[in-house]
A and B are shown apart, each in its own frame.
Chain A
Amino acid sequence: GDSVTQMEGPVTLSEEAFLTINCTYTATGYPSLFWYVQYPGEGLQLLLKATKADDKGSNKGFEATYRKETTSFHLEKGSVQVSDSAVYFCAPLANAGGTSYGKLTFGQGTILTVHP
């Protein structure tokens, strides 16, 4: 089945630092790729997505590029804020047929803490 490997956390940064959270995946076919963010005590919110190779998803200063050749979807932000402190999940969405179709596979999550 599909699998996701995310950079282990926790990640602790100072405000305005550069952020990278690595994500690589294995999947059958050509998945869509998502990053979700979870703030403390809340459900998941979609942060950004990309549906085909070389697409760049972006939102709130975060970016990630769909790299088919390296099966990666690394999340980056040039200058983090305290309010970015949350858990970040990388998740491919299976688009091929079979029992995994339409299902998200979540990485283990990366806890980000940003200090003032």
Chain B
Amino acid sequence: GAVVSQHPSWVICKSGTSVKIECRSLDFQATTMFWYRQFPKQSLMLMATSNEGSKATYEQGVEKDKFLINHASLTLSTLTVTSAHPEDSSFYICSARGGLAANEQFFGPGTRLTVL
């Protein structure tokens, strides 16, 4: 149980385009989802927290107009990187919280974004 998937697992896009990453909780209802960014050989940086049906809460320094987060249902959250640039290239990881393990986060496998 408690499986979280992400799609796509990797994506390459041109500078200026937008990319959408999906995060799904497969076998539980995720009341809260988290989006992290990880640079090579570095730790995870929390970008934002989203609760189903409400606006995401962004961490300080994260541009909400650039990283659009939607949590439209209890099993799906999306992160859209708008007008992507090479410096947005990174590993994006989502996690989900909910179900019986109320305070534990379950992580997706991550999405590798490369912006050319």
User: Chain A residues in contact with chain B, CB under 8 A?
Assistant: 32, 36, 41-46, 49, 89, 93, 95, 102-104, 106-109, 111
Contact = CB atoms under 8 A, between A and B. Distances in A.
Contacts of A107: 43
11 contacts: A41-B112, A42-B109, A43-B93, A44-B107, A45-B107, A89-B43, A89-B44, A102-B49, A102-B97, A102-B103, A104-B105
A50 to B, nearest CB: 12
A104 B95 CA distance: 11
B91 to A, nearest CB: 9
Interface residues of B, number: 21
Nearest to B107: A44
A95 B41 contact: no
A101 to B, nearest CB: 9
Contacts of A104: 34, 46, 95, 105
Which of B32, B49, B107, B112 has the most chain A CB within a 10 Å cutoff? B107
Interface in B100-115: 103-110, 112
A93 B43 contact: no
Contact of A43 (B34, B42, B43, B110): B110
A43 B103 contact: no
Contacts of B97: 102
A106 B107 CA distance: 13
Contacts of B105: 93, 104
